[in-house]
Amino acid sequence: MARLDDASHAALSEAQELGHEARAGRGDHAVLKLWLRMLASTTQIEAEIRTRLRERFGISLARFDYMAQLYRYKDGLKMRALSRYLMVTGGNVTGL
């Protein structure tokens, strides 16, 4: 294995401190660009779903999620299980 000179070692150490983004190579640019486009798309889709739920049914996406989980479990759920499925705290479930 080749040894790194001091300048290369310092640059690598700095990149590791900055995280994966700093170590991204040229080939990673297209992947990152795609990922960002997908993120923007999902954000727009979620915003549209939120708007439609609010306009058509007068409920929030969080409340819809809550009701969808309860619908799946006909015998009901304990608060702890429900909060785990919704990935929120028990206090958030109580607020819904």
pLDDT band at residue 75 under the 50/70/90 scheme: confident
3-state secondary structure of 51: helix
Is residue 46 packed enough to be buried (19+ CB in 10 Å), middle (13-18) or exposed (0-12)?
A: exposed
Q: What percent of the chain has pLDDT over 70?
A: 69
pLDDT band at residue 19 under the 50/70/90 scheme: low
**Is the whole-model pTM more than 0.75?**
no
